[in-house]
Chains A and B, each alone.
Chain A
Amino acid sequence: MGIAQENRVEVKSMLTAVSSKPSRSARVHPFTALDNAMSPHTLHVIVYYPRSPFGSFDLDSVRISLSELLSMYPPVVGRVAKTPDGILEVKCNDAGLRTLKAKVCVGIDEWLRSADGHDESDLTAWGDMPEDPSTWAPFRLQINEFQGGGVAIGLSCPHRQADATTLTVLLKSWTEAQRRRCIVHPPSFSPLPSILTDDTDAVKPNSATISKPISTKTATATFRFSSSSFKKYIEEDGIFPKASPFDVFAALFWTRVALVKRKSHDRVCMCVDFRRLLPNPLPYGFFGNALNFSSLEMTNVADQGIVHVARLINDHVTNLTVEKIRSDLNRVGEQELMYGGDLTIVNMEHMIVEGDPMMYEAVFEDGVRPVHVSYRIGNVGGEGVIMVMPSPEKGFGRVVSVTLPEEEVSKLLVDQEILRFEPKIILSGVK
């Protein structure tokens, strides 16, 4: 892949989308210790629709519903500021959501087939927080129109300010506002419950937020596994009764990546959203980071059978108690990079509510469901990230995206064990 690829995405204009009502109080939204620990990373969500809900853009009703929604999210339209003690917080001053409009020179199907991770990065805004963030918009929306119809809506923010669930709920609420439905998961800005924060120290001032750039060139590939491939595996290989698709696919990729990396690769970092794992569950609309990062070890994982590894993963996730979550929270400051310090596996099972994957329920016009939703993390550590996401078809299928050093990804793309599951490979740059 040494050929220089010309940019297929061209940003045409930039404006600021404002909330519809002024936020009357001069509110500040503070960051938790977990938020600050996420600080080197950025978060990007890209939702692909086969038909764009945008028309003239300036006078669209979609813009009006966006403004109405932004009134419910003051921290999204605020700006980051430093208190005199050097602590970062969000001043809810209504400055607005930066919105970029871009055009892609190919059609959406061609894009999904032939674009790679770098191309997909062009669909959202990147860029780290500058020294003086007073005029820098942390949340940025990018509307990318494909040739011949289709649109990719990209939303990005520093990971300090929100996690994947928060952004997904925000986009879904936008579609609900547009269709004049009641908002199922309104935002909640209350702090983390005291049961989790009793032991933690007061929020420490931030040290240098940007860590050294990752030296190896990474690539991303996305594998779509259908329900039937999971069922086929269970019939052929047998699995313990309580295995979920996450367990199986996470185990599959852990073992294969370990093989490719040629280390015994004992340890992974498991990232699980703990909103619903608490005795008093947090609402889905909880705004901020509610992620648990825990370590999981297994010797010689490359040689282990998937069943074995799946069982280990299942035990680990089921045994995430409040005490474990609290102790993991206490240790967040210790790692420099939450994602990619060790191979990180991200669990998004909680986004499937009553069988429906939340991100695929973000529908602007009836009958026009997203064809694909990507999540990307910026400034990922060298060990890489595996994300197991829900599939647009409800059921046991999953979409797995891997971000690893380039050579490892190219090896994975031809790995026989993975190909046995008959995945549809998209967004991997295969021409």
Chain B
Amino acid sequence: MPQAPMPELTSSVKLKYVKLGYQYLVNHFLSFLLIPIMAIGAVELLRMGPEEILNVWNSLEFDLVQVLCTSFFVIFISTVYFMSKPRTIYLVDYSCYKPPVTCRVPFATFMEHSRLILKDKPKSVEFQMRILERSGLGEETSLPPAIHYIPPTPTMDAARSEAQLVIFTAMDDLFKKTGLKPKDVDILIVNCSLFSPTPSLSAMVINKYKLRSNIKSVNLSGMGCSAGLISVDLARDLLQVHPNSNAIIVSTEIITPNYYQGNERAMLLPNCLFRMGAAAILMSNRRSDRWRAKYKLSHLVRTHRGSDDKSFYCVYEQEDKEGHVGINLSKDLMAIAGEALKANITTIGPLVLPASEQLLFLLSLIGRKIFNPKLKPYIPDFKLAFEHFCIHAGGRAVIDELQKNLQLSGEHVEASRMTLHRFGNTSSSSLWYELSYIESKGRMRRGDRVWQIAFGSGFKCNSAVWKCNRTIKTPKDGPWSDCIDRYPVFIPEVVKL
């Protein structure tokens, strides 16, 4: 018996070394090619000696005009290259909102309120309990003050005060951290999907902080949980056009007006998962920020599956039979998310994967197209392209699905799971809480690449790739500062309520 596993072990170890060797060979192919050539050239030069080199040089018969033209040509080409290179976009710093302890929602409180409000619908209460048990949320997630009332009081005033509370607190913190003065903000982008008052939330921010009158402000609403990365994309485009500028992005989701007050089961699901949160991010294209910026934006890929009807209708806001407005999540949500992810990966893969993986993928594609359609498609190993993953904490199922599809280990998805546990689904800002988790754990080193993936209604899959610009020390304050030592926690499959 001890003999049988040994050959397997040795063969898997051998396979690992073969894989490693292959990766080194393909990824550093050019080096493997150039180094021998340069070595031979150097040996030749040394062999020839200085007088022979001078003779070869004189025999080439350069004259002044030729030299000048060549140098101008070289300078011209390099100028064109540097001018047309897209500006480097830096993420200087960001700040996540930490709700006060009075907004905490323990499981028992949530279920008690649910029972008191839905007292005629025990089946709906049961359903909510089952969702909460399996949700992956912890006992420290927060709901806005208006939702703690029995019954909830989701007035417009309450929604505005939630918006003011979360956005202004996050922005105050960001100004303090970066030392930025409000009058120096050039671009402001606020995204909040489900609350869009007049004047807009971006106007509210401009009013509060007395921002400049020639500020370029944009307010994005209705774009779902992936709106955070859409804002980053917009900021990037604006920063390409405007030199020497900075941009503030505020990502949030205002829960107060969207708490579903009916009892349709599929629409009660968001009540169990969505929680209060916000993030404020400072981006810049200034050269002077390159020393203090935390990250550089490498790639941003947006994929929209709206052209497919099933994807379009899978997250749909509608009225139920009694006229209460809520968000209906279809049962095919996971499958559709998988499709959207595949579309996104197909675009981002060639941009980020090392040559070894791309070659293997190409070979497997050729194999499937030409030789045998039944060959299993090769799933590239994204762990080689990224050190850290931030998967939108949309729910436990989303994280499980992505972990399976991308073959990620527990540690890779730890940031997402722990953010879901501590803060719940904070919609577009969840990616920033996850990034903050990784930093708080002291895992972010210079040169590390981070992949942020967000899904949103529509159905959209957006991903952003950041490269860490400097090793980040564990932040002293931040949303995780008082609880990071307790994490990671073990989250059971079902919490007994």
Q: Which residues in A have some Cβ–Cβ distance to B below 8 Å?
A: 13-22, 58-59, 63-64, 66-68, 79, 93-96, 134-135
Give which listed residue, A59, A63, A67, A94, contacts B139 with CB less than 8 A: A94
CB-based contact B100/A64 at 8 Å: yes
Give Cα A373–Cα B219 distance, bound, in whole angstroms. Answer: 53
CB-based contact B101/A95 at 8 Å: no
Query: Given A93-B106, A95-B106, does the pair A64, B101 have CB atoms closer than 8 Å?
Result: yes
Give which listed residue, A15, A18, A59, A134, contacts B106 with CB less than 8 A: A18
- Nearest-CB residue, chain A, relative to B140: A22
Query: Given A13-B149, A15-B150, A135-B115, does the pair A20, B109 have CB atoms closer than 8 Å?
Result: no
Number of CB contacts from chain A to chain B under 8 A: 70
Which B26-85 residues have C-beta < 8 A from chain A? none
When each residue 97-135 of chain B gets 1 if its CB lies under 8 Å from chain A and 0 otherwise, what string results?
Answer: 000111011111100110110000000000000000000
Which B156-189 residues have C-beta < 8 A from chain A? 161, 165
Q: Which of A16, A17, A68 has the most CB of B within 10 A?
A: A16
B interface size (C-beta, 8 A): 24
CB-based contact A67/B101 at 8 Å: yes
Give Cα A94–Cα B141 distance, bound, in whole angstroms. Answer: 14
Q: Which residues in B have some Cβ–Cβ distance to A below 8 Å?
A: 100-102, 104-109, 112-113, 115-116, 138-140, 145-146, 148-150, 153, 161, 165
- For residue B145, which residues in chain A have a CB less than 8 angstroms away from its CB? 15, 58-59
Give Cα A322–Cα B145 distance, bound, in whole angstroms. Answer: 49
Give which listed residue, A13, A16, A20, contacts B113 with CB less than 8 A: A16
Give Cα A122–Cα B100 distance, bound, in whole angstroms. Answer: 31
Give Cα A17–Cα B112 distance, bound, in whole angstroms. Answer: 13
CB-based contact B106/A96 at 8 Å: yes
6 further interface pairs, Cβ-Cβ under 8 Å (given A13-B149, A94-B106, A96-B108)? A14-B150, A18-B105, A18-B109, A22-B140, A94-B139, A95-B108
CB-based contact B109/A95 at 8 Å: yes
Min CB distance A141 to B, Å, is: 13
CB-based contact B116/A135 at 8 Å: yes
Give Cα A13–Cα B153 distance, bound, in whole angstroms. Answer: 9
A-B residue pairs in contact (CB < 8 Å), sample of 8: A19-B104, A20-B104, A64-B100, A64-B101, A93-B108, A94-B106, A94-B139, A95-B109
CB-based contact B101/A20 at 8 Å: yes
CB-based contact A67/B153 at 8 Å: no
CB-based contact B148/A16 at 8 Å: yes
Query: Given A17-B102, A18-B102, A22-B140, does the pair A79, B108 have CB atoms closer than 8 Å?
Result: yes
- For residue A79, which residues in chain B have a CB less than 8 angstroms away from its CB? 108, 112
- Nearest-CB residue, chain B, relative to A93: B108
CB-based contact A18/B104 at 8 Å: yes
- Nearest-CB residue, chain B, relative to A62: B102
- For residue A96, which residues in chain B have a CB less than 8 angstroms away from its CB? 106, 108-109, 112
CB-based contact B109/A67 at 8 Å: no
Q: Name the 7 nearest CB pairs between A and B, nearest first.
A: A20-B101, A58-B145, A95-B108, A94-B106, A22-B139, A93-B108, A15-B149
Give Cα A66–Cα B148 distance, bound, in whole angstroms. Answer: 15
Give Cα A17–Cα B148 distance, bound, in whole angstroms. Answer: 8
Min CB distance B398 to A, Å, is: 25
Give Cα A268–Cα B456 distance, bound, in whole angstroms. Answer: 72
Min CB distance A109 to B, Å, is: 31
Give Cα A66–Cα B108 distance, bound, in whole angstroms. Answer: 18
Q: Which of B108, B148, B150 has the most CB of A within 10 A?
A: B108
- Nearest-CB residue, chain B, relative to A24: B139
- For residue A14, which residues in chain B have a CB less than 8 angstroms away from its CB? 149-150
Query: Given A63-B102, A64-B102, does the pair A16, B109 have CB atoms closer than 8 Å?
Result: yes
- For residue B115, which residues in chain A have a CB less than 8 angstroms away from its CB? 134-135
Min CB distance B167 to A, Å, is: 14
CB-based contact A67/B112 at 8 Å: no
- For residue A66, which residues in chain B have a CB less than 8 angstroms away from its CB? 102
CB-based contact B148/A59 at 8 Å: no
- For residue B139, which residues in chain A have a CB less than 8 angstroms away from its CB? 22, 94
- Nearest-CB residue, chain B, relative to A56: B161
- For residue B101, which residues in chain A have a CB less than 8 angstroms away from its CB? 18, 20-21, 64, 67-68
Min CB distance B282 to A, Å, is: 26
- Nearest-CB residue, chain B, relative to A18: B104
Query: Given A18-B109, A93-B108, A94-B109, does the pair A59, B100 have CB atoms closer than 8 Å?
Result: yes
Min CB distance A313 to B, Å, is: 46
CB-based contact A67/B102 at 8 Å: yes
- Nearest-CB residue, chain B, relative to A95: B108
CB-based contact A94/B102 at 8 Å: no
Give Cα A134–Cα B111 distance, bound, in whole angstroms. Answer: 10
- For residue B146, which residues in chain A have a CB less than 8 angstroms away from its CB? 58
CB-based contact A94/B149 at 8 Å: no
- For residue B112, which residues in chain A have a CB less than 8 angstroms away from its CB? 16, 79, 95-96, 134-135
